[in-house]
Structure 1
Amino acid sequence: MSTSSVAVTSSFPEMDELKAIRVAGGARFTWRTSSEVRVRQHTFPLLSASIGSDDPQAPAIGFFGGVHGLECIGTQLVLEYMRALLRRLEWDDTLHHQLRAIRLIFMPIVNPGGMFARTRANPNGVDLMRNAPQSAEGRVPFLAGGQRIGPWLPWYRGAADGRMEVESAALLSLVEEQLMSRPLSFALDCHSGFGWDDSIWFPYARTERQMAHLPEMFLLKTMFEESCPHHGYAFEPQSHQYLLHGDLWDFAYDRSCAPNIFLPMTLELGSWRWIRKNPMQVFSRLGIFNPIKAHRTRRVLRRHPNFFDFLTRAAFSSRRWLPRGEFRDEVMRRAREHWQRTGVS
């Protein structure tokens, strides 16, 4: 891994903001360039940043965005949180106390080539969230669940031989090295475009089987609802909405090893409400996935950092809530009953 700067011959607003944060943050963040991507003769780095405890056993949270190049609002959300952290470090003793015990990892632009070109897929036409070498265990939506007809159609899975795109490999490498290696870690991947409302999804996306860490996820949901009863998220397995091939977070979760606990989540920002309020934006590729109107963008950037902060506090306080023994068995029973019975949040 290189820690040196990578020259970029052209840019786009989200990359400019990431570079500005890198300058403003100075030595507060540790920066890594895992690889680079070329598109239209331009070169972009795959950048990540981390901050907090250097203890490899400390809990960690990874924040990700820009897996799909058209979903700029997810990247903007992660960037805004990074900038807010820098501001808070000037005065917030509580944050300093937290960061001595946990580590935060950021990869705000997983697909810089797609974001530069304003395409969902990467420069090779591959949908990165269909790119893992796994297939669904049930029927998936036609095309949208992942297809190998060709990159000229959306939702292309990539090569059938299991070789992943450089962006997918970089994300998974970061997750394995900096998250899954720890006793406890969370990942939050920010997306947009599906549904009327906002959702927190967790594995699985490829099967209707339930994840092994359902008790831990159920307690996270319960604690968040008790702390923020008006949050408005649907908190559920992604399979309650649809199945898909090649989900990167399913693949990462299946590679995690006990006794370590790795809990990946997707924050799916529902864009249909934005389109209903501003129908003309449906004629713009960006408008299908992003709020467009400035006041709606500001509302998104205000609303969701609350969940980011909740995850940092849950990681910091994990000894108080992680279930064990008979209590975990009881929580598993309640979790299975809840999600099997309701199929909703």
Structure 2
Amino acid sequence: MDDDDEASVATERELGLPMERLTLFLDRFIVSLSFLSLLTTAIARGGDPSQHPLPGVADAGDSILTRQLFEEKEPVITDEMAGGYMSNSELEEAMKEFSKRCANISRMYSIGKSVKGFPLWVMEISDKAGEEEPEPAFKFIGNVHGDEPVGRELLMLLANWLCDNYMKDPLATLIIKNIHLHILPTMNPDGFALRRRGNANNVDLNRNFPDKFFPMNDIMQTRQPETRAIMTWVKEGHFTASASLHGGALVANYPWDGSEWIRKQYNACPDDRTFRYMARVYSNSHYNMSLSKEFEGGITNGALWYPIYGGMQDWNYIHGGCFELTLEISDNKWPPANELPVLWEYNRKSMINLVASVVKTGIHGRVFSKDGHPLPASVMIKGINSMVNASSILGDYHRMLAPGAGKSYQVSVSLPGFQQKTTQILMQDSSASLDFILEPEDSSKIRRIPRILGCRCDGTDKLELVQYLRGIQLEIYIVVSICLFLFILFKRKWFLKLVNQRHIVTPKRSIV
């Protein structure tokens, strides 16, 4: 869905119902009917392991614990369970304290507000935070679902670990010097405060984005403020990769999240190989995710697990060129706070390695015009039906690709008004650098005006000037001739019309 379609014009039908509301109602009605077929088999991502397995999915003795997608009753989060987790105000204070303590490598900013007006705070971590650099950007988003708070705690621990280990640990130093890391600990502060999945309007934010397969949520006014904030953030930023942290399972999930078939079936996106590589980076670095008996290697295609529509990761990939994973990092959605240190140790290496992968693999470079200006060109890989765009400010691009010794890729760069350039690159097990300089389109046909000042004094300048003026004279002659012809034609029609009118108005003389 293109965001240009969002500004739909509301036209009234005979029934007096706005067109956009009618369209939205029909879209949701059709998709809801389609979803009914999934009720007996769907597994809700972020499921509570205390719930019973779905009928027909797992036997009583099976270790797979899931909950129904349309479960009406959510588990009650007691004060005892919530104890030890930071409240929204405590989280905000912790972020401000971090920004003061680590001011040399960070800044704090807001991308918007929740339904109830709580700021959606982000921490940027980099050796030049807030400055434009030709470096990749990675973002972490936690607490998408209000009742899955582990991510918000682990992201604060990650930020502090990076600050404490800068210039001490090689990976921490690599990330801070070569990547702009943006951390949004909570996307859903209202849902967290209410201790439920949805936001203050009880909307599941991970079903609220425009969808690739069905015309859902394509009216901007119907989206939640948290969703709109993320969309604006992604479009204004230039993110290379991303991950959102969830709870209720233990698996790294990658696109596509849905399919046009509305059933559980593997649906590979164009960059399926790269996404599987990224998911394995996280799973293999985790303490026990790769040992999963439910998901081979601890990774899964979203549509194969169970399809969802209006998800955030698919929208990031389509509209932001951002390679996003959905990470289920805890079997229990809201575990006791005393388990957080263990969960941090289990996930720390995975989080660090995933961020570092954006500079350790893929193709990175810049695109310039012939005169040295950066260009926001599109970068395409032959055989992969997706593209990423270079930034409009610095012309830098960062194309995620799965590594592989001896793997050859054909890379093309294009921009309207410039000649497309294509080259072949041989990838190894590490990243590659590739810059482009684009020539203007049809530059041979552009007339060169002779230099009257700074004459070469050999007579060639005069000849060029005469030829140039002759060209202008010929063009002027053609234009004048056309105008004269049109004038005569117009005057002739006007004259004939006038004569005809006189014949009609003037009485005939009698003949003697």
Classify the TM-score, shorter chain: 0.5 to 0.7
Structure 2 residue ranges without an equivalent (≥5): 1-86, 260-265, 291-296, 364-400, 410-512
Does the 8 Å contact 1:30/1:49 carry over to 2?
yes
- What secondary structure, in the 3-state scheme, does the structure 1 residue paired with 2:112 have? strand
Shift of 1:213: 0.9
Query: 2:253 maps to what in 1?
Result: 201
- Describe how 1:1-345 pairs up with structure 2 within 5 A: 11-37=88-114, 39=116, 43-52=117-126, 54-89=131-166, 91-92=168-169, 95-134=172-211, 161-163=219-221, 164-180=223-239, 185-193=240-248, 195=249, 198-207=250-259, 208-221=266-279, 231-232=289-290, 234-257=298-321, 262-271=322-331, 274=332, 289-292=333-336, 294=338, 296-319=339-362, 322-323=402-403, 327=407
Q: Is the 8 A contact 1:215 1:323 kept in 2?
A: no
Amino acid at match of 2:350: F
| CA drift at 1:291 | 1.2
Secondary structure of the structure 1 residue equivalent to 2:134: coil
CA 1:124–1:239 in 2, change beyond 3 Å: closer, same or farther? Answer: same
Q: 1:328 to 1:209 in 2, by over 3 A?
A: farther
- Which residue number corresponds to residue 41 of structure 2? none
Matched residue of 1:304: which SS? helix
Moved more, 67-76 or 205-214: 205-214
Instruction: Give SS of 2:202's match.
Output: coil
TM (norm. structure 2) is 0.47
Judge conservation of contact 1:61–1:311 (CA < 8 Å) in 2.
Answer: no
* Deviations, residues 87-132 of structure 1 (Å, cap 9, x unaligned): 1126446533442222211111111122222222111221110101
Aligned equivalents of 2:281, 2:199: Cα separation in 1:
37
If you compute each CA radius of gyration, which structure gives the higher value, 1 or 2?
2
In structure 2, relative to structure 1, the CA distance for the partners of 1:328 and 1:223 (3 Å cut) is farther
> C-alpha distance in 2, partners of 1:75/1:186?
19
The corresponding residue for 2:449 is: none
SS in structure 1 opposite 2:307?
A: coil
SS state at 2:178 partner: coil
Instruction: Give the counterpart letter for 1:199 in structure 2.
Output: V
Deviations 1:223-257, CA, capped at 9 Å, x for gaps: 56776796536212111211112102111211145
Verify the 8 A CA contact 2:208 2:227 in the aligned structure 1.
yes
RCO higher in structure (CA 8 A, sep ≥6): 1
Determine the structure 2 residue equivalent to 1:140: none
1:209 Cα offset (Å): 2.6
Contact 1:63 1:188 in 2 (8 A): yes
Q: Residue 201 of structure 1 contacts residue 265 of structure 1 at CA under 8 Å; is this kept in 2? A: yes
Identity %: 19
Distance 1:312 1:32, change over 3 A: same
Shift of 1:71: 1.0
Superposed displacement of residue 79, structure 1: 1.3
Task: Work out the number of aligned pairs and report it.
Answer: 269
Cα offset, 1:324, TM superposition: 8.6
| Whole-angstrom distance in 1 between the partners of 2:255 and 2:352 | 22
Q: Distance in 1 between matches of 2:186 and 2:218?
A: 25
The amino acid that maps onto 1:265 is L
CA contact (8 A) 1:202 1:264 kept: yes
Deviations 1:172-201 (A, max 9, x none): 222233344xxxx211100012x4xx1000
Do the aligned partners of residues 70 and 211 (structure 1) sit closer, same or farther apart at CA in structure 2, a change above 3 Å counting? same
Query: Are 2:329 and 2:347, in contact at CA under 8 Å, matched by a contact in 1?
Result: no
Tell me if structure 1 keeps the 8 A contact 2:114–2:190.
yes
The 2-side partners of 1:105 and 1:26 are apart by 15
Residue aligned with 2:328, SS: strand
Backbone CA RMSD of aligned residues: 3.1
Counterpart secondary structure, 1:246: coil
Check whether the contact 2:285–2:349 (CA below 8 A) recurs between aligned residues: no
Quick one: which amino acid aligns to residue 242 of structure 1?
A: Y
Amino acid at match of 1:298: P
